[in-house]
Structure 1
């Protein structure tokens, strides 16, 4: 009777979680990107872009900071659980996990990274080219663990997720004179799309066949950008939002083009922008009360080390907030995003 109850409880949890359980065959989640999906890789490199301290992770299981830039789980954690995989995707550089854990999901992402290697250089984080190197290393380890035939099946049936791009604009193009001197904003977008294309072709040649290419959010509505826009009433920077929309349209066209070009590859573009705008325009419909500032500290400027447990201004209930710090969403908002992506972009993989 106890065993039946535990099985029933597990099924109820999956069926009534933030995302519906997928019935299709997805063997693992393999994640590349930035802080939107970094599960803690930056804990293990020399960079100031870290979040492995309180109050980060205070709503994660056990209340522990993991290096995720949020108060709890990330979209990829929710998506993994929705496909019947483990409820958290482990960071590849986290020594507390091994290849047995990575066989069903692994994260190579690094907070502060971008498509452009010059973006990752800003905070000395893991570039996409290095993330690709780690993936190749992982493949070798997986083949030793599972055997070549089984590993090849795992890799071909896995869902690959790419989530990055915001840092390329906000931490690189708009902050450094180098890229603006080389590219107009449209040329830079095309430059990034070219990098994305080459990366996707690389993982395709390494066995990837299912890919979620995630667009960037309305970056002009991040609390930090609102705060920088205080003389205009702390409203969203619509110029930045237009750049995000234009870039997303280019990523969508890239996905369509590569679906025609790469035999057997299924690429779905996940439009994170639209769900963010819906929540920002009507937060109460999603159960939020505050959309303009983050929960941590003043919520206007703090992230990383500036968001620490010693600040008395940090909110008591992050579920009321869309953003956790001045740059990153709360676990609740991430669950909304994941649910939207599961019902739209990833529905074809169910």
Structure 2
């Protein structure tokens, strides 16, 4: 999905009065859930948060707001999406947006185990719990309307390669790269179907960025500072299979619209001409 198409989709969603944004994934969308679990993967110290409101490190793995925070604001919702495990938020506040995401996690539960973070399956269990809390607070009719009309965001998969497959021996011993990609895409498919069974209908799934150009990949590359093109091509292959799976989901899930976001080309454009983006 190109930037123009994505903008059109968000404008359409805003016009539809989306009541909430509900988020699953990794550090790209973790609003601070890792602050409340026993893990070293935390973003609750400087320079994280230096450009966030008040200069506070909230647990977001970012200098400021996350993409999902900007999406929330674009939809006419609050300017940031709270972390589900942050008990300072009431269910009434979480009714307009909530993130179940956990930095360091992946589609493969082994990835989450390595980092001692929240698996995607546990995030979906938290979503079930959230639904019940919402029904108690808002009544079943209003709660169901929020769940059905909300925008669901999945941003996950990078860590399965950079933490797991490229660095640990277990998965490469049992899967070729192509087989592991197929395994991960099947997990993505299952997660979307699980969310659908729980009421999700408007679903946005982000593809992988050029993972060979991430700072860790550049640092560990045999030519330090340069992108690892082999790793980035794995992301290209994953995105191609994910796109195909999303097409099938749209054919099979009655009443659902699942949208793929091409983050690869967006980040590649920034990397190739950073001055154009400030």
Calculate the TM-score normalised by the size of structure 2. 0.94
Q: In the aligned structure 1, how far is the partner of 2:52 from the partner of 2:224?
A: 34
Does residue 283 of structure 1 match 2:274? yes
Structure 1 counterpart of 2:44: 52
**Which of the two has higher C-alpha Rg?**
1
Q: CA deviation at 1:233?
A: 5.3
Q: Deviations over 1:154-175 (max 9, x none)?
A: 0000000000100000100111
Structure 2 counterpart of 1:104: 96
Structure 1 counterpart of 2:25: 33
Structure 2 counterpart of 1:218: 210
Q: CA deviation at 1:25?
A: 2.3
| Aligned residue among 206, 222, 241 for 1:250 | 241
Q: In the aligned structure 2, how far is the partner of 1:85 from the partner of 1:144?
A: 22
Unaligned runs of 5+ in 2: 1-9
Q: In the aligned structure 1, how far is the partner of 2:67 from the partner of 2:234?
A: 23
Unaligned runs of 5+ in 1: 1-18, 288-350
Structure 2 counterpart of 1:266: 257
Does residue 23 of structure 1 match 2:15? yes
Structure 2 counterpart of 1:318: none
Question: What does 1:197-236 correspond to in 2, within 5 Å?
Answer: 197-229=189-221, 231-232=222-223, 234-236=225-227
Question: What does 1:184-203 correspond to in 2, within 5 Å?
Answer: 184-203=176-195
3-state DSSP class of the match of 2:122? helix
Q: CA RMSD in A?
A: 1.2
The number of aligned residues is: 268
3-state DSSP class of the match of 1:131? helix
Structure 2 counterpart of 1:149: 141
Q: Deviations over 1:67-92 (max 9, x none)?
A: 00011100000000000000000000
Q: Deviations over 1:293-342 (max 9, x none)?
A: xxxxxxxxxxxxxxxxxxxxxxxxxxxxxxxxxxxxxxxxxxxxxxxxxx
Q: In the aligned structure 1, how far is the partner of 2:157 from the partner of 2:140?
A: 34
